[in-house]
Amino acid sequence: MRPSEGILGVAFGTRADGDARSNAAVRKRIADELGVSPEWATVTQVHGDHVAIVEAPGHHGEADALLTARTDIPLVVATADCLPVAVAGRRTIGLAHAGWRGVAAGVVPALVEAMRTLGDEPLAAEIGPFIGPCCYEVGPEVVEAVGGFIGETRWRTTSVDLGAAVSAQLTGLAVTVAGACTYEDRRYASYRRDRTTDRQVTVAWLP
């Protein structure tokens, strides 16, 4: 795994990196590649808006975002079509997992708010690979839940652009969006394509 060219301190993995959730050897290898600690902070993702404030490595219960001011604790989320969203502040780093339910719940604005509560200000954000509007066919309930951002699939049905939806929630921030669509690009696990339990991990850390 390689650090992103965008904001400092984030790396978006692929399926080829292996299952970092269950395999300590995979975690160690990824940590070595990134030059970060193998003692990560993780959560059980539940498509909500809770932000775990991280002051120690390990598991932080049910949450869909993590935030830390510590330079020695990498934050990790696992995705397969949902958006991994890294938000860099001056003295903190945050990482969220957001599908349409997370967008509707406002997990990314909740992360930004938590950063401000810690006395920091977000500077930039980067969204990793997710299922694009090219492939994310949805029904009207999802369009309504995320507030529009309607797109069209390659097969000409209604979709939503969750990257645009999250970018709109990050008003005033420089947002970089990764180009890959997880559904089309087979380097990535895609739940929608394969109904798989495989996930790619995103690692974010404060340099």
Q: How far is the CB of 45 from Zn ion (least distance, A)?
A: 22
**What is the rounded CA–CA span in Å between residue 139 and residue 160?**
9
Per-residue burial over 132-152, b if 16 or more Cβ lie within 10 Å, else e, is bbbbbbbeeebbeebeebebe
Can residue 33 be called a binding residue for Zn ion (CB under 5 A)? Answer: no
Can residue 132 be called a binding residue for Zn ion (CB under 5 A)? Answer: yes
Site for Zn ion in 66-125 (CB under 5 A): none
Question: Which is closer to Zn ion, CB of 120 or CB of 137?
Answer: 137
Q: How far is the CB of 96 from Zn ion (least distance, A)?
A: 21
Question: Which is closer to Zn ion, CB of 31 or CB of 135?
Answer: 135
Can residue 135 be called a binding residue for Zn ion (CB under 5 A)? Answer: yes
Q: How far is the CB of 11 from Zn ion (least distance, A)?
A: 22
Stretch that binds Zn ion, among 11-19, 48-56, 138-146, 184-192 (CB under 5 A): 184-192
Question: Which is closer to Zn ion, CB of 13 or CB of 163?
Answer: 163
**What is the rounded CA–CA span in Å between residue 181 and residue 132?**
5
Main-chain phi, psi angles of 8, to 5 degrees: -65, 140
**What is the rounded CA–CA span in Å between residue 177 and residue 83?**
10
Can residue 184 be called a binding residue for Zn ion (CB under 5 A)? Answer: yes
**What is the rounded CA–CA span in Å between residue 153 and residue 202?**
26
Of 43, 103, 181, 201, which one interacts with Zn ion (CB under 5 A)?
A: 181
Residue 61, amino acid: G
Residues 6+ apart with CB under 8 A from 197: none
Question: Which is closer to Zn ion, CB of 21 or CB of 192?
Answer: 192
Can residue 18 be called a binding residue for Zn ion (CB under 5 A)? Answer: no
**What is the rounded CA–CA span in Å between residue 166 and residue 127?**
9
Q: How far is the CB of 71 from Zn ion (least distance, A)?
A: 36
Instruction: Provide the binding-site residues for Zn ion, judged by CB under 5 A.
Output: 132, 134-135, 181, 183-184
